[in-house]
Amino acid sequence: MDRAQVLLRANLEVARGVDLDQVLHHLVDAARALVGAGCAALTVTPNGQPERVVQSAGDERLLALMAEGAALFRQVEWGGGPVRVPDFGALPAAATLPDGHALRGPLLRVPIVLGGRTLGHLDLSGRPEAVEFTEQDERMAVTLAATAAVAIDNASLFAEVRRRHAWQEAMIGVTTRALAGVHTPALLRELVYHTWRASGADGAGLSLLSRRGRHVRLVVAMGVLAPFEHLSTPLEGSFAQQAIRVGRAFQFDPHQHPTSAPYVVGTDVGRVLIAPVLGAQRAFGALTVARRGAAEPFEPIDQEMVSAFAAQAGLALEYDGAPAGRPHPAHHTPGGVNLWD
């Protein structure tokens, strides 16, 4: 099969495929075949950090050696375009490689770019007899990287559509339950659960203000936030207070702030996104989602989604606390939800 056929089949796989891993495996195999490399690795880095690595090699030994070298690749400054290196072993980043390592020799790296955004890169190495990669090899790899960019972007769009659908379904369910008169505490627990699942986070929680507004308590918590359920902290200086003051969702690393670090040290809690829960005349608290460990930042769709669920929680609390036919006064506390000092 000539190079044109390999590229055409790669494009066909992208057009047919929905499963990103399957498509990327086909593309990395095609890349290795196109340039006659012993091993290839395609790394997806939508946020600057490796999110997914797909590898291909002529034998298991080369595959294992490619995995060893992956961390070294990340230490090299490549700039924004394709790079052909005559001998990877001569680079400072390869100084720790043992003698005879298969990754010594020529290396070709091309970025995976779409619309000015770098989505990852494709690495090719392990060429027989250390024959250097040519300009034609580079062109072939760049063409395949462009195909990979389309596949990665398509998968991202599919994932967002699925998440938005799950979000819609959850919102409809919660609204229907609220109108049916479900007791507010039970409704809020359902809302936190749906926020957790629809956002794809590793945990979610709802914090409500005390009667006097001096403290905030995590009244519902799930996933990685479950150990903190019922935790009460002063409102002053808290992230809940900050969210209420700015009136919008924001994210932070709790390990980097003195107010939250003592609570999360030694836990799985990583990145946190918090949104204010507001009524027409008062603030009720905040809705929080969290990811594990050194997680990537939340995306705009996450902020949009959690903000919508927080608004839904505010409506549920206001609806529960308002006498029939008129809104509740600013000092009213929704019955059975946050009756604590």
Question: How high is the pLDDT of residue 286?
Answer: 95
Mean confidence (pLDDT) of the chain: 77
**What does the domain layout of the chain look like in residue ranges?**
3-156, 181-321
Q: Does 154 score more than 50 pLDDT?
A: yes
pLDDT tens column, 186-240: 888 988 998 888 888 899 999 999 988 889 999 999 999 999 899 999 999 888 9
Can you tell me the mean pLDDT for 12-35?
74
Q: Does 329 score more than 60 pLDDT?
A: no
Q: Does 69 score more than 60 pLDDT?
A: no
Q: Does 21 score more than 90 pLDDT?
A: no
Claim: this prediction has a pTM higher than 0.75:
no
Topology classification of domain 3-156? Beta-Lactamase (3.30.450)
Helix 3-16 vs helix 20-35: crossing angle, to nearest 10: 180
Instruction: Answer left, alpha or beta for residue 108, where phi above 0 means left and psi between -120 and 50 means alpha.
Output: beta
Question: How high is the pLDDT of residue 255?
Answer: 78
Q: Does 2 score more than 70 pLDDT?
A: no
CA nearest neighbour of 39 among 64, 19, 17: 64
Question: How high is the pLDDT of residue 288?
Answer: 93
Decide whether 3-156 matches 181-321 in CATH topology: yes
pLDDT tens column, 245-284: 999 999 988 877 777 777 777 787 888 899 999 988 889 9
For residue 251, give both structure tokens. 């994210």
Burial of 70: CB neighbours in 10 Å, binned 0-12, 13-18, 19+: middle
Can you tell me the mean pLDDT for 173-191?
79
Which span out of 38-47, 61-70, 212-221 was modeled with the highest average pLDDT? Answer: 212-221
- Residue located via tokens 């593309």: 27
Q: Which CATH superfamily is domain 181-321 in?
A: GAF domain (3.30.450.40)
Q: Does 242 score more than 80 pLDDT?
A: yes
Question: How high is the pLDDT of residue 64?
Answer: 61
- Residue located via tokens 């939250």: 260
C-alpha distance from residue 126 to each of 122, 132, 143 (Å)? 14, 10, 20
Residues 6+ apart with CB under 8 A from 106: 84, 85, 86, 87, 88, 125, 127, 130, 131, 132, 133
Residues 6+ apart with CB under 8 A from 165: none
**Collapsing DSSP states into helix, strand and coil, what is residue 103?**
coil
Q: Does 121 score more than 90 pLDDT?
A: no
Q: Does 130 score more than 60 pLDDT?
A: yes
Can you tell me the mean pLDDT for 144-161?
81
Per the CB < 8 A criterion, the answer to whether 142 and 110 are in contact is yes
Question: How high is the pLDDT of residue 333?
Answer: 37
Q: Rounded to an integer, what distance in angstroms lies between the CA atom of residue 288 and that of residue 283?
A: 15
pLDDT tens column, 303-321: 888 998 899 888 888 776 5
